[in-house]
A = this chain, B = another copy of it.
Amino acid sequence: MARKASLSGFPEWLPQERLVELHVLDTLRRTFELHGFSSIETRAVETIGQLLRKGEIDKEVYGLHRLQAEDDPGAPDQDKLALHFDLTVPFARYVVENAGYLAFPFRRYQIQKVWRGERPQEGRAREFTQADIDVVGDGELPFRYDVELALVMAEALSALPIPDFRIRVNNRKLAEGFYRGIGLTDTAGVLRSIDKLEKVGPEKVAELLQEELGATPEQAKAALQLAGIRTEDTSFVAQVRALGVEDELLEEGLAELEQVIGEACRRVPGKVIADLSIARGLDYYTGTVYETVLVGHEQLGSICSGGRYDALAAKGNRTFPGVGLSIGVTRLVMRILGQQLAAASREVPTAVLVALANDDSWSQAQDVAAALRSRGISTEVAAKAEKFGKQIKYADRRGIPFVWFTGHSDDGTLTHEVKDIRSGEQVPADPELWMPPAEDLAPRISATGTA
């Protein structure tokens, strides 16, 4: 990323960089579809009323206005339009609106751009792509989906050209039950303080708990002890029990988190860990919460977060509990490109350039190209019969590996040869049969190993 975005916070990629992003997007889509998630998209805009539905928006939101329209002072503010700042709130609206047409539990993936008017910084853009998976039930949703979603995301992230990662999992019931058990009743307040742990450190959080929430030093200490527990297996259960707190909700949370970590240990060892410091700022989570860091890139922040929400979407008495995770695709791609963690093998899809011997042979060259394309070989035809050296240079500058030459034999029949311009080897070839080596068929994205 030698170039700077011409508009701060709105990154744009060169064609060879876009190939890396496309690879990430294609890989995620493929993994999600293999696990039976359906694609949906929602509109880029929501009404401000809809965005405010879950209380104050803690994200910077872009409002919309029509340049050519006089202001319509009669339109209430809540009906005005704004760009969505995540894909969860729009999805909740979509589920409620289309409940009659969906089969529950409904599994969907959604890969779209979102916008936040925040100050751009490393890993944080104003326009960025999120890739979300959620499962939403009608009235109830088995806990098993909380386990499954961690496994799907571990598989999806493992398929990307990124460094090793850890999905850190906690459970709101566990935390809230524990706080209640030690006599701290403003559990949301405690969670907000604990959420600052990584930023301000344990001493400061202990102060906050005592000064703002009236905790005793012992209560603050116990809350911080809980937050200090982090295990790769289910041994966190014994560690929590050793703190000697008894509470029904705590037990429920322990059992749930144990299910997630226990199954993940078996299927994706080391990738999914229990981390009882994870709080997640947003209020709508009610059980499992997830965050994900890249090992060695922890300061980048979470690249995949989410959780269980039992009451995000509701229609009258009917509720739609769900669990979901969201990957910050742009944050990942910025890091991959910025630190050259992966690169494309060439910058264009083209595998073959059909050269022109003379300007009249363009149509004939299109016949050759059509034959190659019919077997999935991306092919361009030269636009002008320049010297062959110039036509080969056209291919070379783009990384197109093969140049095709058509001539005439003595008896007037067409002859075909294809040149690998990397090795210089040129061999006779039949446009109806020839195939490039599999690794040259399309650009490949590979980790560069500099991570």
Contact = CB atoms under 8 A, between A and B. Distances in A.
Nearest to A113: B44
A247 interface: no
A119 to B, nearest CB: 11
A39 interface: yes
A424 to B, nearest CB: 21
A387 to B, nearest CB: 15
Interface stretch (A65-73, A184-192, A214-222, A288-296): A65-73
B127 A37 contact: no
Interface of A: 3, 6-7, 10-15, 18-19, 22, 33-45, 47-48, 57, 60-69, 81-83, 93-94, 97-98, 101-103, 105, 107-108, 113, 115, 117, 127, 142, 144-145, 148, 151, 263, 266-267, 347-350, 362-363, 366, 373, 376-381, 383-384, 397-398, 442
Nearest to A15: B38
B347 A38 contact: yes
A5 to B, nearest CB: 8
* Residue among A22, A39, A94, A263 with max Cβ neighbours from chain B (10 Å): A39
A41 B63 contact: no
* Residue among A10, A151, A377 with max Cβ neighbours from chain B (10 Å): A10
A39 to B, nearest CB: 5
A196 to B, nearest CB: 21
Given A45-B7, A62-B64, A144-B362, A379 B35 contact: yes
B44 A127 contact: yes
B64 A68 contact: no
Contacts of A15: 38-40, 102, 108
Contact of A60 (B6, B68, B101): B68
B151 A10 contact: no
B127 A45 contact: yes
B64 A349 contact: no
A13 B35 contact: no
Given A67-B63, A127-B43, A379 B36 contact: yes
* Residue among A33, A263, A377 with max Cβ neighbours from chain B (10 Å): A33
Given A35-B373, A98-B3, A267-B366, A142 B67 contact: no
Nearest to A33: B349
20 contacts: A10-B45, A12-B41, A14-B102, A18-B39, A18-B40, A18-B41, A35-B380, A36-B349, A44-B44, A44-B115, A48-B67, A63-B67, A64-B83, A68-B117, A105-B383, A142-B384, A144-B362, A144-B384, A151-B366, A267-B363
